[in-house]
């Protein structure tokens, strides 16, 4: 990289343009919730979310705030609290375009971009009604066995991969440990915006124990340091999800007025507040 990628949280959020295709991880893999709050504060428009391969409160908040036009996902769920309510409401009122997918299909589509390919073959979708809905997926013949059908899933190349991670070094390398989906997202996307718990000295890529779980700086565009940046979700190896806070959200978001009241309170918090 020609320059170090460090910036403040508001600058990171401001660099996500309206209409951007934004790749976000599942709840257990490092969700950039503090950065999502900063993003909602600037009132984004027409975002296209790619959930890798599902999402929860992050997608629900962005949808409820009116910032999402389209979502490509296998599910949007609050786990034990059920279907994400603002997502469900947007589907019912027609304000959200949903590209229904499967977990393997989303991973395959990102891997295609990661490898510079136009599509990736997937077999498990054959026979499902998804093929009638996804005009961007094609059934083709296996070129090595004519008559053997397979689905070609078009590559997904997000504008921005957007997530939270354990730490970064001062060279811009980012430690994601076992969350390998985040590496795929970074390598498949045009840019990668990351929040981290802390900066560390030394070179993470030179650390033989940790380097297999490091995203090299060449794939990272912007980094902001935000303590507890995944709250109210957890971050593996650092802190657990705040079950009480997630339950409060699930109750509030069942209605438009309840969601708005919750959102106003959430937006008033400091970036590191828990």
Q: Say if 167 falls within a structural domain.
A: yes
Q: Which domain holds residue 150?
A: 103-154
- How far apart are the C-alpha atoms of 181 and 185, rounded to whole Å? 6
Helix (H/G/I), strand (E/B), else coil: 161:
strand
| 137 within domain boundaries | yes
Distance (Å, rounded) from C-alpha 259 to C-alpha 271?
20
Confidence of residue 211 (pLDDT cuts 50, 70, 90): very high
Instruction: List the one residue out of 166, 184, 36, 38 whose CA is nearest residue 107.
Output: 184
Give the percent of the chain with pLDDT over 90: 95
pLDDT band at 191 (very low <50, low <70, confident <90, very high): very high
Cβ-count burial of 158 within 10 angstroms (0-12 exposed, 13-18 middle, 19+ buried)?
buried
257 contact partners, CB below 8 Å, separation of at least 6: none
State whether 208 and 244 are in the same domain. yes
Average pLDDT for residues 205-213, to the nearest whole number? Answer: 95
- Examine residue 228 and state whether it is found in any structural domain, yes or no: yes
On the question of pLDDT at 41 being above 60, the answer is yes
Look at the alpha carbons of 100, 105, 107, 108 in this order and tell me if their dihedral is positive or negative.
negative
* Tokens linked to 195: 């929040």
One domain, residues 56 and 146:
no
For residue 141, the domain's CATH number is 3.30.30
Please check the confidence at residue 274 and state whether its pLDDT lies above 60: no
Considering the domain architecture, whether residues 122 and 248 belong to the same structural domain is answered as no
Tell which of 133, 154, 175 closes a domain: 154
Residue 13: CATH number of its domain: 3.40.1080.10
Instruction: Mark whether 113 and 249 lie in a shared domain.
Output: no
Q: Which residue has the tokens 């059908």?
A: 149
Across the range 209-222, mean pLDDT stands at: 97
Q: Considering the domain boundaries, does residue 112 fall inside one?
A: yes
Average pLDDT, the chain: 95
Greatest extent of the chain over all pairs of C-alpha atoms, in Å = 60
| pLDDT tens by residue, 156-165 | 999 999 999 9
Which residue, 111, 128, 154, sits at the end of a domain?
154
Full DSSP string of 60-116: HHHHHTT-EEEEEES-BB-GGG-B-HHHHHHHHHT-SEEEE--HHHHHHHHHHHHTT
258 shares its domain with 149: no
Flag whether 29 is in a domain: yes
Residue 3, domain member (yes or no): no
108 and 182 together in one domain: no
Q: Are residues 63 and 110 in the same domain?
A: no
| Pairwise CA distance, residues 168 & 177, whole Å | 12
- The verdict on 229 and 256 lying in the same domain is yes
Q: Which helix (H) or strand (E) holds 154?
A: strand 149-154
The answer to whether residue 249 sits within a structural domain is yes
Residue 155 DSSP symbol: P
Asked if 186 and 235 sit in the same domain, the reply is: yes
Model pLDDT for residues 67-102, shown as the tens digit of each residue? 999 999 999 999 999 999 999 999 999 999 999 999
Confidence of residue 269 (pLDDT cuts 50, 70, 90): confident
Together in a domain, 205 and 92: yes
pLDDT band, residue 271 (cuts 50/70/90): low
Buried b (16+ CB within 10 A) or exposed e, 103-125: bbbbbbbbbbbbeeeebbebeeb
Residues 131 and 235 in one domain: no
Domain total in the chain: 2
186 plus 247 within the same structural domain = yes
* Domain edge (last residue) among 154, 184, 217: 154
Q: Is the peptide bond before 232 cis (omega within 30 degrees of 0)?
A: yes
In a domain, 270, yes or no: no
**Is the pLDDT score of 1 beyond 50?**
no
Over residues 205-217, the mean pLDDT reads 96
């Amino acid at each position: 990289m020609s320059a170090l990628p460090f910036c403040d949280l508001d600058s990171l959020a401001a660099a996500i343009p309206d209409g951007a295709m934004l790749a976000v991880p599942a709840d257990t893999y490092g969700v950039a919730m503090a950065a999502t709050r900063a993003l909602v504060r600037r009132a984004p428009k027409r975002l296209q979310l790619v959930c890798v391969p599902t999402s929860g409160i992050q997608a629900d908040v962005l949808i409820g705030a009116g910032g999402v036009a389209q979502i490509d996902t296998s599910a949007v769920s609050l786990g034990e609290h059920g279907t994400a309510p603002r997502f469900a409401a947007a589907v019912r009122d027609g304000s959200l375009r949903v590209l229904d997918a499967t977990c393997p299909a989303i991973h395959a589509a990102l891997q295609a971009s990661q490898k510079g390919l136009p599509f990736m073959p997937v077999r498990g979708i054959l026979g499902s009604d998804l093929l009638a809905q996804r005009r961007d997926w094609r059934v083709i013949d296996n070129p090595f066995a004519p008559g053997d059908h397979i689905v070609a899933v078009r590559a997904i190349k997000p504008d921005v991969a957007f997530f939270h991670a354990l730490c970064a070094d001062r060279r811009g390398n980012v430690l994601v440990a076992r969350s390998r989906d985040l590496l795929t997202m970074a390598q498949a996307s045009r840019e990668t915006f990351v929040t981290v718990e802390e900066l560390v000295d030394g070179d993470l890529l030179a650390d033989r124990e940790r380097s297999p779980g490091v995203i090299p700086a060449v794939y990272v565009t912007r980094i902001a340091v935000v303590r507890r940046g995944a709250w109210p979700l957890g971050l593996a190896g650092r802190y657990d999800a705040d079950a009480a806070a997630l339950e409060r959200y699930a109750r509030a978001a069942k209605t438009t007025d309840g969601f708005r009241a919750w959102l106003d309170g959430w937006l008033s918090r400091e970036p590191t507040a828990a």
